[in-house]
């Protein structure tokens, strides 16, 4: 742990009711005594040499902050002192709860820095909590997930990680692997008195029956629940003026994209966010695809095609008032390899003969009739997206321990080591090799939980946090 004192603004910058400046480290309490004056107390009467305790830990005090240099009043605040180790970082922590605003918070932070603190980097407080043993690495990463959670389900999963559910699972696995390795080491040390064959059989059986299923399930859970954290990417495609922008506006229930009868209104990618049954969705309105020599439209069309290749699903919008033209038939063929729903729009003006012909032309492709203008068919479209895309990716179970992507990659390495057990047992020094294999697994488990020694790894992880957390 470092001995310096760090400070940062821990709330979003901008106008608001409350802003928080957080301080952590050995200088936090002296800084509070230097800057904060309780109500009905004269700033000029405070003895700056006073070293006695004037503030009780974990109480909220009302008063004002003063700049010790100019003695100007900075703001009316609530001040909280949390004495170590009963704080998030297990250091002395002070928080000033002031009015929010760029100027107000900047003045307070500047006064705190002038009083002896240094500016905190991204994730500096959470990193100190980890290094002090307050939280492990799985809980620290869960804090990132909680902050970035795009939906209620992602919040629930992150909260279970913050509470330590995943850590408890890994600690249980670690304890049992450690016991097996200790038995192997004892066999190596006292080989004349231990039945290596029986021990090997017991170890290999445990690897197969106790650990492989658990690790495999954790890996699968991350794959299945990733969409709750990352969301789905939908791209709206079609020729100009078929109602793509109107469809986007109707799906997100607000006027995001410009709607005009003039073809080619959308030339750049328009992104919006909504959710389907708790699954976050990023939806993109793209430029109408057609043959053109306009250089700006060509750039927009190329961007659109790039998004189609990246998207989890393409919504191909077709007018229900006419048959497909030649260019649209080519689009249908182009997107057949991807997940696609043909959205037959303008159902309020539909020509039934044209609809019959369209459905013959797109036979075998999921399709639905909607009216982006009136809203008809929107709920059914969302159900179809969920059925075709979400249901195929997840069992929608999100209770219990769920690793993140970094953790899943390490779990996959652990699974490979577990499956290598039989090969290790067939060598001349079988018990030695199995013991080394178990040691490798323990090191990988420790990489997930964190051994607080790999500074480069942890700097990379905590750099993903916002400043002030």
Reported as a pLDDT band with limits 50, 70 and 90, residue 399 is low
The CB-side HSE value for 116 (13 A sphere, CA atoms) comes to 16
Q: Which long-range contacts (CB under 8 A, 24 or more apart) does 38-44 make?
A: 38/62, 38/63, 39/63, 39/64, 43/71, 44/71
Alpha-carbon gap, residue 7 to 25, rounded angstroms: 9
Q: What six digits make up the tokens of 421?
A: 């057990």
Does residue 130 lie within any of the structural domains?
Answer: no
Q: What is the mean pLDDT of residues 422-426?
A: 72
Would you call 60 exposed, middle or buried from its count of C-beta atoms within 10 A (0-12, 13-18, 19+)? exposed
Q: Contact 240/290 with Cβ under 8 angstroms?
A: yes
Give the model's pLDDT for residue 411: 94
Question: Above 90 in pLDDT, residue 97?
Answer: yes
134/433 Cα distance (integer angstroms): 36
Return the number of other C-beta atoms located less than 10 Å from residue 129's C-beta: 23
Same domain, 60 and 107: yes
20 and 74 fall within a common domain = yes
Residues 286 and 214 in one domain: no
| Of 101-110, 132-141, 367-376, the least confident | 132-141
**Residue 93: which CATH number?**
3.30.1360.120
- Regarding predicted confidence, which is higher, 386 or 63? 63
Provide the CB-side half-sphere exposure for 441 (13 A, CA).
29
Could you tell me the CATH number of the domain that includes residue 208? 1.20.120.430
Domain identity same for 248 and 371 = yes
Higher pLDDT among residues 128 and 261, named by residue: 128
Position 49 confidence tier, pLDDT thresholds 50, 70, 90: very low
Q: How confident is residue 264, by pLDDT bands cut at 50, 70 and 90?
A: very low
Same domain, 277 and 359: yes
Q: How many CB atoms lie within 10 A of CB 325?
A: 13
pLDDT per position as a tens digit, 216-252: 999 988 887 877 777 788 888 888 888 888 888 888 8
Crossing angle between the packed helical segments 152-162 and 165-189, to the nearest 10 degrees: 40
Q: Give the count of domains, the chain.
A: 3
The pLDDT assigned to 233 comes to 81
Show which of 376, 411, 442 is a domain's final residue: 376
Residue ranges in 311-420 assigned as alpha helix (H): 326-335, 352-361, 378-385, 405-419
Residue 41 has pLDDT above 80, yes or no: no
Q: Note whether 56 and 150 are same-domain residues.
A: no
For the beta carbon of residue 461, count every other beta carbon within 10 angstroms.
20
Confidence of residue 266 (pLDDT cuts 50, 70, 90): very low
The predicted pLDDT at position 456 comes to 56
Where do we find the tokens 């095609």? 305
| Domain co-membership, 115 together with 177 | no
Strand partners, 9: 21
In a domain, 133, yes or no: no
Q: What is the pLDDT of residue 457?
A: 57
- 97-101, 106-110, 323-327, 402-406, range with the lowest pLDDT: 323-327
**Start-end of H helices in 254-404:** 295-310, 326-335, 352-361, 378-385
Among 168-177, 321-330, 381-390, the range with the most confident prediction by mean pLDDT is: 168-177
Is residue 390 domain-resident?
Answer: no
**Confidence bin at 191 (pLDDT 50/70/90):** low
Dmax over Cα atoms in the chain, in whole Å? 91
Percent of the chain predicted with pLDDT > 90: 26
Distance CA 344, CA 49 (A): 78
- Residue 142 scores a pLDDT above 70: yes
Residue 47, pLDDT > 70, answer no
User: According to the model, what pLDDT value does residue 305 have?
Assistant: 57
Residue 263 has pLDDT above 60, yes or no: no
Range of the domain at 81: 6-120
Report the alpha-carbon distance of residue 430 to residue 433 in Å, rounded: 5
Identify the pLDDT of residue 218: 92
Is the model's pLDDT at 258 over the cut of 50?
A: no
The pLDDT mean for the chain works out to: 80
Residue 277 has what pLDDT? 77
12 pLDDT more than 90 = no
Q: Is 70 exceeded by the pLDDT of residue 1? A: no
State how far the Cα of 224 lies from the Cα of 171, in Å rounded to an integer: 23
* Same domain assignment for residues 102 and 11: yes
Domain containing 369 — which CATH number? Answer: 3.40.50.300
Q: Is residue 391 part of a domain?
A: no
Q: Do 408 and 291 sit in the same domain of this protein?
A: no
Minimum mean pLDDT range among 124-138, 156-170, 298-312, 405-419: 298-312
How much is the pLDDT for 52? Answer: 47
Token pair belonging to 209: 């029956």
Task: For residue range 298-355, list pLDDT tens digits in order.
Answer: 555 556 556 666 678 888 888 888 888 887 787 778 776 668 888 889 888 888 888 8
Domain assignment present for residue 135? The answer is no
Could you tell me if 236 and 371 lie in one domain? Answer: yes
Is 80 exceeded by the pLDDT of residue 400?
A: no
Whether 150 and 13 map to the same domain: the answer is no
Q: Please, is 82 exposed, middle or buried when counting C-beta atoms within 10 Å of its C-beta (0-12, 13-18, 19+)? A: buried
| Residue at 35 is within a domain | yes
Confidence of residue 268 (pLDDT cuts 50, 70, 90): very low
Task: Using the predicted structure, report yes or no on whether residue 171 has a pLDDT greater than 60.
Answer: yes
The answer to whether residues 209 and 146 belong to one domain is yes
Most confident of 49-53, 77-81, 133-137, 227-231: 77-81
């Amino acid at each position: 742990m470092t001995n310096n004192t760090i400070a940062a603004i821990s709330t979003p910058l901008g106008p608001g009711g409350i802003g928080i400046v957080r301080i952590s480290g050995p200088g936090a309490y002296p800084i509070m005594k230097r800057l904060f004056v309780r109500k009905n107390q004269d700033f000029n009467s405070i003895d700056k040499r006073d070293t006695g305790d004037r503030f009780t830990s974990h109480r909220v005090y009302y008063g004002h902050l003063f700049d010790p240099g100019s003695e100007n009043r900075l703001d009316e605040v609530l001040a909280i002192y949390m004495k170590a180790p009963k704080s998030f970082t297990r250091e002395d922590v002070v928080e000033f709860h002031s009015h929010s605003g760029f100027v107000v918070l900047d003045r307070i932070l500047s006064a705190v820095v002038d009083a002896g603190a240094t500016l905190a980097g991204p994730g500096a407080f959470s990193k100190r909590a980890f290094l002090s043993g307050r939280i492990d690495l799985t809980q620290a990463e869960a804090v990132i997930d909680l902050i970035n959670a795009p939906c209620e389900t992602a919040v629930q999963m992150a909260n279970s990680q913050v509470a330590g559910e995943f850590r408890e699972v890994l600690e249980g696995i670690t304890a049992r692997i450690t016991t097996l390795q200790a038995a192997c080491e004892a066999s190596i040390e006292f080989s004349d008195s231990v039945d290596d064959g029986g021990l090997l059989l017991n170890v290999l059986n445990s690897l197969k029956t106790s650990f492989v299923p658990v690790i495999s399930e954790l890996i699968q859970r991350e794959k299945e629940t990733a969409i709750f954290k990352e969301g789905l990417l939908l791209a709206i495609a079609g020729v100009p003026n078929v109602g793509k922008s109107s469809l986007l506006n109707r799906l997100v229930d607000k006027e995001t994209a410009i709607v005009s009868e003039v073809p080619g209104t959308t030339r750049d990618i328009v992104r919006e966010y909504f959710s389907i049954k708790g699954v976050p969705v990023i939806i993109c309105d793209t430029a109408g695809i057609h043959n053109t020599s306009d250089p700006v439209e060509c750039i927009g069309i190329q961007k659109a095609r790039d998004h189609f290749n990246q998207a989890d699903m393409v919504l191909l919008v077709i007018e229900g008032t006419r048959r497909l033209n030649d260019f649209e038939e080519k689009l249908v063929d182009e997107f057949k390899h991807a997940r696609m729903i043909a959205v037959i729009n303008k159902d309020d003006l539909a020509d039934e003969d044209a609809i019959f012909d369209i459905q013959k032309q797109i036979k075998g492709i999921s399709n639905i009739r909607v009216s982006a203008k009136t809203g008809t068919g929107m709920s059914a479209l969302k159900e179809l997206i969920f059925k075709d895309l979400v249901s195929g990716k997840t069992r929608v179970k999100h209770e219990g321990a769920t690793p993140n992507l970094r953790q899943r990659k390490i779990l996959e390495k652990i699974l490979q080591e577990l499956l290598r057990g039989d090969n290790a047992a067939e060598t001349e020094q079988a018990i030695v090799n199995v013991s080394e294999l178990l040691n490798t697994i323990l090191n990988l488990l420790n990489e997930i939980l964190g051994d607080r020694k790999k500074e480069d790894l942890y700097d990379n992880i905590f750099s993903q946090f916002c400043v002030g957390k």
